Chain A
Amino acid sequence: MNPATQSALIHGAVYGTIVCLAVLTSIAMGIWFERKFAGRMQSRIGPTYTGPVGLLQPVADVVKLLQKEDIIPRDADHALFNLAPPLAAIFSLAAAAVVPFSAKVISADLDVGVVYILGVGGLMVVPTFMAGWSSNNKFALLGGMRAIAQSVSYGVPLVLATMVPVVLAGSLSVSGIVDWQATHHWFAVWPILPGLPAFLLFYLAMLAESNRIPFDIPEAESELVAGITTEYTGAKFTLFYMAEYVHTMVGSAVAAALFFGGWDGPFAPGLHWMVLKTLLIFVSVYWVRWSLVRFRSDQLMDLCWKRLTPLGLGLVFLAAAFVQYWPGGAR
């Protein structure tokens, strides 16, 4: 093992652990904030009893969930059933590896970070379908089926939306894209035409990827009881639950990095800016979630293939045209 690889491994291990812990902690806070936020939107107060202003509510949630009996349905496929939740947690966290939280805090500064994120994000469908299939439950199966259809559909706009900053910055590395934005403009601000729509497209695709309303079709608790997680209890359910939040959080971080200049910002250290932007996007996801009803499965496909995919293609072309023809746009 050469020294470069060795140091990259150590660096990755140290920062990876830090990032994982940071993400999980911020998710705990995110859950608390979501509950309070949703409560206020619903004319309620939200959690109050667990700790000061209910701050320990996520802890209470997790403790409660871990105490539950672990039930495996008799006719379930045990191996897949048990494997799915940890896989979901791993895949959702893995994408955080290439997200630059500041100029230095990045677990693995891959040259092809964007491709890696898309690949790992796309893998999430595997544990989801594993769970749906192995549960031996019709509701779970339907949920798994929907998850595959949704994930396949939304992979395309997601890739296209990601291509816009890649083309504009001329880099596949996430930190490269952030660097470019730090020296020029944030892509959501300039060039605004492919930039802002591309962000919205990415945002929608991210909602769909992380199964958030209005695209939470695989779960669809009013239709499919709890979708893929119908048969899961206790710790395994916790892992799925966590994976969903992690997925959203990492997606928000990627969106912040790709379109809002990541750690770039005045007055404060880069880490602060990155965390602030990520949390703002994360919160907006919940704002959307608690405001809208969900689409039907076929409407989602319709929206995706007939509207968002052409839009994404157009945006990539626009980005390319901007780079090529706009004075000063060319690198």
Chain B
Amino acid sequence: MGYFIDSLKAMATTFRQIFRKPATYEYPEVIRPRAERLRASFALPDDENGELACIACMACEKICPSQIIHIKSEGKRESPVTGKKRQYADTFVLDLTACIGCELCVQVCNSNAIYMVREQEVPGFEREDLVLNLERLRANAKSKTAAWAKGTVLQEMQELPKAEKKPAAEKKPAPEKKPAADATAAPPGDEKPAPEKKPVAEKKETPAPAAPADATPAAAAPAEAAPAAEAKAAAKPDAEAKPDGEAKPKEAEPAKAEGAKSDAAKEASA
């Protein structure tokens, strides 16, 4: 009897589904709205001068885990538009058949010269259709909607924000050896007074993590150069474009930042 009643319950459940909207879409006719960040295929955009933005720095070729990007450049030459000397990617092959869609090539591109497009690639009829060469990539840039992620956007999102820069720089090397010395190195990177004040205030409030770092200022000297350079590099994209509105204002509150800091310390010790 239990079988019977439970079977009726299951049948009632399935019957109820009939009145729901189907969860599927008739794909080619109806295209489901997809996320803004959807990564599908690739595109190589032009820069503001109408030239290929890619300067063949090979960063994406190096980082690609499946080694599907192959770039060749015939060296620097004068730009026909601006007259300046720059490097061009003369061949750019991206083999989509072996792409794992990890977005690392976009992540590492400092000049936003490669990004992913949101529209699904039309399936090809030959393998060659999926091997994206320079023409196809540039065509994609013109015809397809770009995904949200760009190299600088991603890097800026992951970079510790200005207000947070100094304590974070401190925090990072704390377990190893690093001192407050780069707290002095960081400020020259940005001239704004406001962000500079905060780290100081914060330092006072949270002596615990800062103290061991302060104790060994001498060890800092050799390792200092790198973070400083990095801070400058990070500052540049910050200055030219601030699309990343989300991250900024949030970090201003020292109380929360402090919480983050002590928690991070807790995890490190765990």
Tell whether, in the assembled complex, residue B13 and residue A291 are in contact, meaning their CB atoms are under 8 Å apart.
yes
Q: How far is the CA of A41 from the CA of B24 in the complex (A)?
A: 12
Chain B neighbourhood of A37, CB < 8 A: 18
Specify which chain A residues have a CB less than 8 angstroms from the CB of B24 in the assembled complex: 43-45
B26 sits at the interface (CB 8 A): yes
B26, A45: Cβ atoms closer than 8 Å: yes
Give chain B interface residues in 1-29, CB to chain A under 8 Å. 3, 7, 10-11, 13-15, 17-18, 20-24, 26
Contact of B17 (CB < 8 Å), options: A42, A48, A303: A42
- Return the contact of A44 from the options B3, B13, B14, B22 (Cβ within 8 A): B22
Once A288-B7, A288-B11, A292-B7 are accepted as A-B contacts, the answer to whether A48 and B26 lie under 8 Å apart by CB is yes
Q: How far is the CA of A43 from the CA of B21 in the complex (A)?
A: 7
Known interface pairs A287-B15, A291-B13; A40-B22 also in contact (CB < 8 Å): yes
CA distance A192 to B52 in the complex (A): 83
With the chains together, A37 CA to B18 CA distance in Å? Answer: 8
Q: How near does chain A come to B24, taking the closest CB pair, in angstroms?
A: 5
A44 vs B17: C-alpha distance when bound (angstroms): 10
Task: For residue B46, give the distance in angstroms from its CB to the closest CB of chain A.
Answer: 40
Chain A contact residues (Cβ within 8 angstroms of B): what range? 10 to 19
Chain B residues near A214 (CB, 8 Å)? 7
A41 to B10, CA, bound (A): 11
Q: How far is the CA of A288 from the CA of B14 in the complex (A)?
A: 9
Assess whether A317 is interfacial by the CB under 8 Å rule. no
Contacts A41-B17, A41-B18 hold; do A292 and B26 have CB atoms under 8 A apart?
no
- B residues near A292, Cβ cutoff 8 Å: 7, 10-11
Query: Whole-angstrom distance from the CB of A28 to the nearest CB of chain B?
Result: 22
Q: How far is the CA of A326 from the CA of B14 in the complex (A)?
A: 41
B21–chain A nearest beta-carbon distance, Å: 8
Contact between A45 and B22, CB atoms less than 8 A apart: yes
Bound complex: CA A37 to CA B13 (Å) = 14
Set of chain A residues within 8 Å of B21, measured between Cβ atoms = 43
Query: A290 at the A/B interface (Cβ < 8 Å)?
Result: yes
Whole-angstrom CA separation of A287 from B21 in the bound complex: 19
B22 proximity list for chain A (CB < 8 A): 39-40, 43-45
Q: Which of A42, A45, A291 makes the CB contact (< 8 A) with B10? A: A291
CB distance from A23 to the nearest CB of B (A): 26
Given the contacts A288-B7, A292-B7, A41 and B14 also touching, CB distance less than 8 Å: yes
Q: Are B17 and A43 in contact (CB under 8 A)?
A: yes
Task: Give CA–CA (A291, B6) in the complex, Å.
Answer: 10
A29 to B17, CA, bound (A): 22
Residue interface bits B12-54, CB-to-A below 8 A is 1, else 0: 0111011011111010000000000000000000000000000
Is the CB–CB distance between A43 and B20 below 8 Å? yes
Contact call A40/B26, Cβ cutoff below 8 A: no
Closest beta carbon of chain A to B123's beta carbon, Å: 17
**Chain A, residue nearest B20 (CB):** A43
Please, which residues of chain A bring their CB within 8 A of the CB of B23? 43-44
Closest beta carbon of chain B to A312's beta carbon, Å: 16
Instruction: Mark interface residues in A30-63 (1 if CB within 8 Å of B CB, else 0).
Output: 0000000101111111001000000000000000
* Residue in A closest to B11 when the chains form the complex, CB atoms: A291
Bound form: Cα–Cα A41–B17 in Å: 5
Report whether A291 and B7 are in contact in the complex, using a CB–CB cutoff of 8 Å: yes
A39 / chain B contacts, CB cutoff of 8 Å? 22
Q: Which A residue sits closest to B7, measured CB to CB?
A: A292
Given A40-B17, A43-B23, A291-B7, 13 more contacts at CB 8 Å? A41-B17, A41-B18, A43-B17, A43-B21, A43-B24, A45-B22, A214-B7, A287-B14, A291-B10, A291-B14, A292-B10, A292-B11, A303-B3
A residues contacting B by CB (< 8 A) are 37, 39-45, 48, 214, 287-288, 290-292, 303
Shortest beta-carbon contacts, A-B, top 10: A43-B23, A41-B14, A291-B14, A291-B11, A291-B10, A40-B18, A41-B17, A44-B24, A45-B22, A43-B22
Residue pairs across A and B with Cβ atoms less than 8 A apart, 8 shown, are A40-B17, A43-B17, A287-B15, A288-B11, A290-B14, A291-B14, A292-B10, A303-B3
